Amino acid sequence: MLSIRTFFIAASLCLSAAFAADKPNIIVIMADDLGYGDVGCYGATAVQTPNIDRLAKEGVRFTSGYCSASTCTPTRFSLLTGTYAFRQKGTGIAPPAAPAIIQPGTVTLPALLKKGGYKTAVIGKWHLGLGDPEPDWNGELKPGPLEIGFDHCLLLPTTNDRVPQVYVEDHRVLNLDPKDPLWVGNQAPSEDHPTGITHRDTLKMDWSHGHNQTIHNGISRIGFYTGASAARFRDEDLADRWVKASDAWMEANRESPFFLYFASHDIHVPRIPHERFQGKTSLGLRGDSIVQLDWCVGELMKTLDRLKLTENTLIIFCSDNGPVLDDGYKDGAVEKLGDHQPAGPFSGGKYSVLEGGTRTPFITRWRGRIQPGVSDEVVCTVDLAASLAALNDIALPETGCLDSLNILPAILGEAGAKGRDHLLQQDNGVSGNFGLRMGDWKLVRMKKKGKTQAVVTRKSRPENAPVHALYHLPDDPSESKDLSAQHPEKTQQFIERMDAILSA
Ligand code: NG6
Ligand code: CA
């Protein structure tokens, strides 16, 4: 006969099995600066991406998948908070010593999932600031991810063209020797401090604009730092380290539902993939970094297979903004481009409110639950908070996730399910430029010219572009034929809707 204790253990095991089946693990893989046309399943031929292509083959590949901004910090802010970044000041591209941008107490995707019983981790690039009012590099780096819903983090604090090149694990710089403190600042610490200007001939990769301050690993960066010699990493080892850490964390948390935000640094500058990937494509280091990104995706999938979690894990693959070629270093991206179309059929790229800025690869896979296919529904990274909360029957508080829509059925590729009926697109948030897509139409508001109009597909907007332009995306994916004069009422309706969203 079963003892009472054995009965309870057996019953709780059944319960936890049911629990696990109801709540899939969730992995969000966010690539950095990866454009719509940069991977095989979206049309690239100059670079092979078998693992990302396999995700697409086994899941849903979205042709209208978006990130919410065309630069990193605002997209990541919106991913985690479910709120458009323009609603909060200070959410533009974060400088090296930025304080925490998401305040403790904010409703966040990881906090919601944690409340729903998930273990949560972010491994990779953060770029949302640490500390208050500034990072205490030699002490406790808080607030940070652990104060807004993550149980664990292993981070690159900003982005790798900015200092410092150290990992932050939970609240501390990893391997920091107190006898060799880390100093980070905006001014050179001494007159003889080597920089990309004073020691340009020693660099292993030259800079093209900006990026000429402190040198580490033969590459000059944005910002200055000294110390922390034992804590510093090599750019070449970032991807390996994060894959290894993710593997270990998933294994340690295999019994509970987990949420892993894997924030790859590929293919952001400086593009220095591991030596084993260098030279793998005709596109130079930009293409080689795509190969490294694809390898990471494959390794994460292998871990799920090894842990027998593939059927119980939803993977969402996306990017934080569209593509850029020369983003500050002479790495051959422009010279070796050939016929490759980083933004696919779209105009614009990183920094732009044209489609290339935010329409990016977006793939969901959940084997056994998601029917493989291609979806034209509009889905956006800002929707993951509400949709993943809905997946777990977690109620959204009224005070948060203001722009996140529950479009879970569309994200899971269910037949007949609708995605967003409207989407606001922003750049870095300081230009006043915005896009609004509703159905097949798109309004572009240009307040300022400049990089926002950078066109990686080599098509350019006319110099005298009007403040508002209206495009019909199916006929004109490159946004080159302004139809606002032919459709004044529709244009006005879009302008009013955009104003309403911006002032809500
Ligand atoms: C820009 C940098 C660019 C990149 C970007 C942030 C210069 C001239 N340009 O200011 O190199 O770092 O910020 O990229 O410094 S992001 O993907 O993290 O948003
Ligand atoms: Ca980016």
Is CATH 3.30.70.20 the classification given to domain 25-412? no
Taking a C-beta distance cutoff of 8 angstroms, is the pair 379, 358 a contact? no
Residues around the ion ligand 2 (C-beta < 5 A) = 32-33, 72, 320-321
Of the candidates 321, 286, 309, the one whose C-alpha atom is nearest the C-alpha of residue 71 is: 321
331 lines ligand 1 (CB under 6 A): no
Amino acid occupying residue 340: H
For the CA of 321, the nearest atom of ligand 1 = 17
What is the sign of the dihedral through the CA atoms of 272, 276, 282 and 287? Answer: negative
User: pLDDT value at position 430?
Assistant: 84
Show the CA angle centred on residue 127, arms to residues 155 and 238, nearest 5°.
40
Q: 162-192: per-residue pLDDT in tens?
A: 999 999 999 999 999 999 999 999 999 999 9
For residue 7, count other CB atoms closer than 10 A to its CB: 11
155 lines ligand 1 (CB under 6 A): no
Mutation test of ligand 1: which of 32, 73, 93 has the most ligand atoms closer than 8 Å to its C-beta?
93
Band (431; pLDDT cuts 50, 70, 90):
confident
Q: How far is the CA of 327 from the centre of ligand 1 (A)?
A: 7
List the residue whose alpha carbon is closest to atom 15 of ligand 1.
210
Q: How far is the CA of 140 from the centre of ligand 2 (A)?
A: 27
Task: State the average pLDDT over residues 133-147.
Answer: 98
* More confident site: 459 or 184: 184
Task: State the average pLDDT over residues 22-43.
Answer: 97
Q: How far is the CA of 228 from the centre of ligand 1 (A)?
A: 24
266 lines ligand 1 (CB under 6 A): no
**Distance (Å, whole) CA 384 – CA 361:** 15
- Residues sharing a CB contact under 8 Å with residue 84, sequence separation 6 or more, in sequence order: 68, 78, 382, 402, 403, 424, 426, 501
- Residues sharing a CB contact under 8 Å with residue 252, sequence separation 6 or more, in sequence order: none
b/e per residue, 216-238, with b = 16+ CB within 10 A?
Answer: bbebbbbbbbbbbeebbbebbeb
- Residue 155 tokens read as 């981070």
User: pLDDT value at position 11?
Assistant: 41
Q: 224-246: per-residue pLDDT in tens?
A: 999 999 999 999 999 999 999 99
Task: State the average pLDDT over residues 490-496.
Answer: 97
327 lines ligand 1 (CB under 6 A): yes
**Distance (Å, whole) CA 58 – CA 309:** 15
User: pLDDT value at position 329?
Assistant: 98
Q: 286-323: per-residue pLDDT in tens?
A: 999 999 999 999 999 999 999 999 999 999 999 999 99
Q: In a 10 Å sphere around its CB, with 0-12 CB exposed, 13-18 middle and 19+ buried, how is residue 409 labelled?
A: middle
Of the candidates 160, 170, 332, the one whose C-alpha atom is nearest the C-alpha of residue 237 is: 160
Q: Write the ipTM.
A: 0.98
Instruction: Evaluate if residue 219 carries a pLDDT over 90.
Output: yes
Mean residue pLDDT across the chain: 93
Task: State the average pLDDT over residues 345-350.
Answer: 96
For the CA of 162, the nearest atom of ligand 1 = 12
271 lines ligand 1 (CB under 6 A): no
Instruction: Evaluate if residue 432 carries a pLDDT over 60.
Output: yes
Band (462; pLDDT cuts 50, 70, 90):
low
For the CA of 327, the nearest atom of ligand 1 = 11
- Residues sharing a CB contact under 8 Å with residue 271, sequence separation 6 or more, in sequence order: 285, 286, 288, 289, 329, 331, 333
Instruction: Evaluate if residue 36 carries a pLDDT over 60.
Output: yes
Domain boundaries in the chain? 25-412, 422-503
Task: State the average pLDDT over residues 427-450.
Answer: 88
Q: 258-291: per-residue pLDDT in tens?
A: 999 999 999 999 999 999 999 999 999 999 999 9
Instruction: Evaluate if residue 383 carries a pLDDT over 70.
Output: yes
Give how far Cα 216 sits from Cα of 85, 241, 281, 291, 447, Å: 32, 18, 26, 24, 38
Q: How far is the CA of 467 from the centre of ligand 1 (A)?
A: 25
Counting residues of the chain whose pLDDT is more than 70, the rounded percentage is: 92
DSSP 8-state code for residue 236 = G
Taking a C-beta distance cutoff of 8 angstroms, is the pair 80, 110 a contact? yes
Instruction: Evaluate if residue 5 carries a pLDDT over 60.
Output: no
328 lines ligand 1 (CB under 6 A): yes
User: pLDDT value at position 2?
Assistant: 38
List the residue whose alpha carbon is closest to atom 11 of ligand 1.
327
Conformation bin of residue 338: beta by default, left when phi > 0, alpha when psi is -120 to 50 = left
Taking a C-beta distance cutoff of 8 angstroms, is the pair 424, 378 a contact? no
Q: Which ligand is nearest to the CA of 128?
A: 1
- Residue 439 tokens read as 């159905």
Q: Which ligand is nearest to the CA of 327?
A: 1
Taking the domain 422-503, which CATH number applies?
3.30.1120.10
Q: How far is the CA of 317 from the centre of ligand 1 (A)?
A: 22
428 lines ligand 1 (CB under 6 A): no
Task: State the average pLDDT over residues 382-387.
Answer: 98
Counting residues of the chain whose pLDDT is more than 90, the rounded percentage is: 90
Instruction: Evaluate if residue 39 carries a pLDDT over 80.
Output: yes
- The tally of CA atoms less than 13 A away on the side-chain side of residue 341 is 17
User: pLDDT value at position 467?
Assistant: 85
Instruction: Evaluate if residue 451 carries a pLDDT over 80.
Output: no
Task: State the average pLDDT over residues 445-458.
Answer: 54
User: pLDDT value at position 446?
Assistant: 87
**Distance (Å, whole) CA 121 – CA 131:** 18
Of the candidates 451, 502, 462, 437, the one whose C-alpha atom is nearest the C-alpha of residue 327 is: 451
**Distance (Å, whole) CA 58 – CA 37:** 19
Band (464; pLDDT cuts 50, 70, 90):
low
Instruction: Evaluate if residue 78 carries a pLDDT over 90.
Output: yes
Of the candidates 494, 498, 495, 466, the one whose C-alpha atom is nearest the C-alpha of residue 482 is: 466
Q: 99-113: per-residue pLDDT in tens?
A: 999 999 999 999 999
Show the CA angle centred on residue 468, arms to residues 465 and 470, nearest 5°.
100
383 lines ligand 1 (CB under 6 A): no
Predicted TM-score (pTM) of the model is 0.94
Task: State the average pLDDT over residues 140-158.
Answer: 98
